Amino acid sequence: MDDSLFLALIAGGALILVGAIAVVAFACRRTLRGEAPPPFFGMLQRQGLTLKQAEEAVGIEGLAAGVRRCALCGEQHACRARFALGWLASRKIDCPNKSLFERLK
């Protein structure tokens, strides 16, 4: 393999690695900067469910995936505002956990 191809492969790999690190850093920053817990827990409470009941219904993996989807969602502030108005009942939001909450009803 000649040197220019080898350098191009290394440069491409480095760009991919930097991109992946940026995505992870952005997701962590979004998650950690929030001062309040994700709206997920408020929705459970609104539906009259405890964490234990939700875990029994969808399993610990399903519950963890739901919390993770909520924590990484870019609509948390808007979701909290709509949550106060009963957005799940109105079905006017594209929540990544909408199907999970419907299963938990």
pLDDT (tens digit per residue) in 37-68: 788 888 888 888 998 999 899 999 999 999 98
The answer, yes or no, to whether residue 28 has pLDDT greater than 70, is no
pLDDT for 85 beyond 70: no
- For residues 71-98, b (16+ Cβ closer than 10 Å) or e, as one string? bebeebeebeebbeeebbeeeeeebebe
Give the DSSP letter of residue 71. Answer: H
Sign (positive or negative) of CA dihedral 7, 13, 17, 20: positive
The whole-number average pLDDT for the span 78-91 is 63
* Distance from chain centroid for Cα 23: 13
Nearest 5°: CA angle at 78, between 96 and 71? 45
* pLDDT bucket at 8, cuts 50 / 70 / 90: confident
Mutual orientation of helices 51-72 and 3-33 as an angle, nearest 10°?
A: 130
Q: Across all residues in the chain, what is the average pLDDT? A: 79
pLDDT tops 70 at residue 74: yes
Residue 96 has pLDDT above 60, yes or no: yes
